[in-house]
Structure 1
């Protein structure tokens, strides 16, 4: 009886394996056939359009549009990079290009220098913010699109060019030599007081970790024994740089992030591999809704190890990893290949793109489905919606008049005029325009258009619009008109009501004329609610210890 029992026990699994293998082979074959069939249909369609369509078509443009439309169905991060855009893509990932080292843009009157970067050809040659670009070499660029002007300014390193600009009422010409430009990941670092260091990390391109390391070592040599690491508005970048930055603050051999995808070769656990620069320095990390990707890895890992207090607002929620794959004809495709998981085990991806494709609208992870995890000290953290700070800071709200003055370039233009009239100002952190200067600004605005609708006016307008649909509108029309008359704003009055706010914005813009990007960042730290809150933790280590050890709920 026993020999008879053994035969079917072996035979049934064998048949099952053969059946499943044949089924998998068939499924794979069906998928390959579907791919081949659709590629053939696409190629045939392009050929027939080129032959029969009533007007001439541009095959390159048409195919690129088709590819981009297809990739948009997947997620915003999977994208096609044609050969002609490879240089721009390389600049985004490395922060390097060859040119004059200046941000340019159009402020309504033509293309101008918006920010010359310190130490690069534009700044060292003497180009300044608000210089209107008239010519690049012999090419008249006064009315050309910004993108074309930008291309003319770029070129091989060590090649000469001349730029003619209009500054105030003077026409000036500058001779420059293009150089290899490496944009700084750390545009500013410094001490906020005798003991508090501050590092602004704006990006995660090549050498980001080296720049942070150098800034940290320098600050410590100057006596800083507590630190604010500012990751606000940082869109992320290279994962390897994020791992190295975390390693500056936590011991060797610790897991920072792991990636998990469909293919085995994208599954990897990244650990710290070096001795940290300082594993004990009190640390606060600032984040907001525009902190994404690598910035979230750094913030999340430091939170998971209870190494830093996080202050600010919930981060963006990008937990997806992209890999660049070369294609034919020097083109590339950046593909989402994995999700990343930080030390507690959580994935912080906020949008489910698979369900979004099925549903047609953006699908986020509902709170009821978010899972809980624990930090090293047992604090509760959750997945599915970015990194949540330990201490929330409300977003700074500006008055409508401030938005209008900025959007209308009135702040920008007055700062430029101020720069022409004043040779120097005090340091960025202490500078503020005087009341006399503010009165000059008010005179500067006379005759200029900066009308706007206040929040109250908008509410009354909405009320009136809804009331018009009701039968009793005629009965309350007089009352609505009376309310409108009372809330009708006075622009001159708002300039006094929001004087402190407008003065701060003006002062920061003026600082940029003298101290460029670094100065503008430093000036913005004054009266910054997140920075002020961060200091309370760094000045009260008992508060920090309590926050990092008491379980979050």
Structure 2
């Protein structure tokens, strides 16, 4: 009897295994059929369009738009790059491209592109091009009617090739012609580092593309020679790059053999583990890391790893929350595809991904994972941290909101144009650290704005108008008409008042734009650091040893026995 029962259980188990295998095979077979079916349908649609559509279709454009829409429906990071359009991918991976090394911006009045910001030491700056130069022609071809994207593509090309660029410089009567030789442009990885007060080092790291670990090491060792006793790493607005580079930089401050990142995807080959492989440079120097909402990807790996291992105090605002990893795949006809293959997890085990692209709303939109659905993890010392929403700083700094008028002044190029005129009048200025915009300078700027007949939307006027319309709709306007009229008089558009009331923010933006013209990106960073709330908090905590260590230690819990007494 026992033998019969045993045989029966074995038979049942084999039946279950066989059934599972059959269903798995059936599901896999059905999935393959659905894939083949839809590819066949797509191919047939394209052929029918090409044969019968009333106008001749551009096959490359139509299919490319279909591919882009399909990939974007998955997430913003999965993208296709055909053979003739891989400069963006190359720049992303290597932090280089063939060109002249300048930001190109749009002149709204002239409806032409212009030099916005030449990079220090690059062909544009070396040739003598300046911010504000209007781009007129390339090798004699008039650029009128071309947008920024088209002109940027014309300026880029194989390193070593040359062309003639004709520009119209403000304040100069005749057009100027420049002979430019394209080169491999490397965007500044560390645009600025210095020793601040009280022997605090500061390193601004702008990207993890290229070879940032090597440059960071050089900057850090140079600061150590200068006698720094603590360090601020500025990762604000750093959108990320190469994961390995983030691990290497973290390794400078963490012991060898620590697992910093694991990646998990659909297939086993994608699952990886990244450890610190080298001996550190400094395990003891106090660290503060500055982050904001534009700190993403590899930047979050560095900040999150240092937080999870209780090695640095994070200061600023919650980071972007990109916990997805992309790899590149070769495609037919020389194309490349950047595809999201996995999510990454930092030492505490959390993933910082803030948006769940798999579960979209009914209208196709996506939103951040609510805090109520995030999970608590713990740092090496036992501090609570959470997943699902970027890296939350240990010291959160409330960010000042920029005034509405400043957006319009920048958007209308009034601050840019004033900086251009300022440079025509001043051949040299004070060094970036000591430069100040005078009251007379600001008075000149205000006069220029008045003459430009500058207009801008005031949010209070918009909200009041909406409130008035709603009050009329609901029948309250008649009784409240007097109050509305009084409020409208007080909220009347007053340009002089706004230029004076928001003078601090406007003057700071003007100073940044002016300093770019003389000291490039380094100058603008120095100006921004002069009154930087995040940096102030970082300096404060690095100067207070007791607070620094308390922030890196778990919060003490009350002893129940003591509480009962």
Same fold (TM over 0.5): yes
Residues 370 and 472 of structure 1, relative CA distance in 2, 3 Å threshold: closer
Q: Distance in 1 between matches of 2:71 and 2:161?
A: 38
Equivalences for 1:129-528 in 2 at 5 Å? 129-170=131-172, 171-193=175-197, 195-356=199-360, 360-528=364-532
**Residue segments in structure 1 that go unaligned for 5+ positions in a row:** none
Deviation at 1:544, TM superposition (A): 0.7
Deviation at 1:303, TM superposition (A): 0.4
- 8 Å CA contact 2:171–2:424 kept in 1: the answer is no
**Residue segments in structure 2 that go unaligned for 5+ positions in a row:** 558-565
Counterpart residue number, 1:124: 126
Q: Distance in 2 between matches of 1:148 and 1:354?
A: 35
Q: Which moved more, 1:3-12 or 1:384-393?
A: 3-12
- 8 Å CA contact 1:379–1:552 kept in 2: the answer is no
Q: Distance in 2 between matches of 1:260 and 1:99?
A: 37
Q: Distance in 2 between matches of 1:436 and 1:153?
A: 39
**Helix, strand or coil for the counterpart of 1:69?**
helix
Equivalences for 1:16-95 in 2 at 5 Å? 16-95=16-95
**Helix, strand or coil for the counterpart of 1:114?**
strand
**What RMSD over aligned residues (CA atoms) do the two structures have, in Å?**
1.8
Regions of 4+ moved over 6 Å: none
Q: Distance in 2 between matches of 1:180 and 1:502?
A: 36
- 8 Å CA contact 1:135–1:164 kept in 2: the answer is yes
Q: Distance in 2 between matches of 1:349 and 1:446?
A: 47
Q: Distance in 2 between matches of 1:367 and 1:403?
A: 31
**Helix, strand or coil for the counterpart of 1:269?**
strand
CA offsets 1:337-388 (integer angstroms, 9 cap, x no match): 1111110011111112221167734243333321111111111001111110
Residues 49 and 516 of structure 1, relative CA distance in 2, 3 Å threshold: same
Residues 409 and 358 of structure 1, relative CA distance in 2, 3 Å threshold: closer
**Helix, strand or coil for the counterpart of 2:189?**
coil
- 8 Å CA contact 1:377–1:551 kept in 2: the answer is no
Q: Which moved more, 1:108-117 or 1:72-81?
A: 72-81
TM-score by length of 1: 0.96
Counterpart residue number, 1:112: 114
Deviation at 1:501, TM superposition (A): 2.3
Q: Distance in 1 between matches of 2:214 and 2:453?
A: 47
Q: Distance in 2 between matches of 1:184 and 1:437?
A: 31
- Matched pairs, number: 553
Q: Distance in 2 between matches of 1:369 and 1:167?
A: 56
Counterpart residue number, 1:10: 10
Deviation at 1:401, TM superposition (A): 2.5
Counterpart residue number, 1:541: 545
Q: Distance in 2 between matches of 1:552 and 1:43?
A: 64
Residues 472 and 35 of structure 1, relative CA distance in 2, 3 Å threshold: closer
Deviation at 1:2, TM superposition (A): 4.3
**Helix, strand or coil for the counterpart of 2:193?**
strand
Q: Distance in 2 between matches of 1:542 and 1:31?
A: 60
Q: Which moved more, 1:192-201 or 1:278-287?
A: 192-201
Residues 59 and 384 of structure 1, relative CA distance in 2, 3 Å threshold: same
CA offsets 1:369-415 (integer angstroms, 9 cap, x no match): 21111111111001111110111111221222222222221111111
Q: Which moved more, 1:361-370 or 1:125-134?
A: 361-370
**Helix, strand or coil for the counterpart of 2:289?**
strand
- 8 Å CA contact 1:235–1:290 kept in 2: the answer is yes
Q: Distance in 2 between matches of 1:5 and 1:399?
A: 81
Q: Which moved more, 1:496-505 or 1:274-283?
A: 496-505
CA offsets 1:24-61 (integer angstroms, 9 cap, x no match): 11211111111112111211221121111111111221
Residues 256 and 183 of structure 1, relative CA distance in 2, 3 Å threshold: same
Residues 400 and 420 of structure 1, relative CA distance in 2, 3 Å threshold: same
Deviation at 1:88, TM superposition (A): 2.0
Q: Which moved more, 1:84-93 or 1:310-319?
A: 84-93
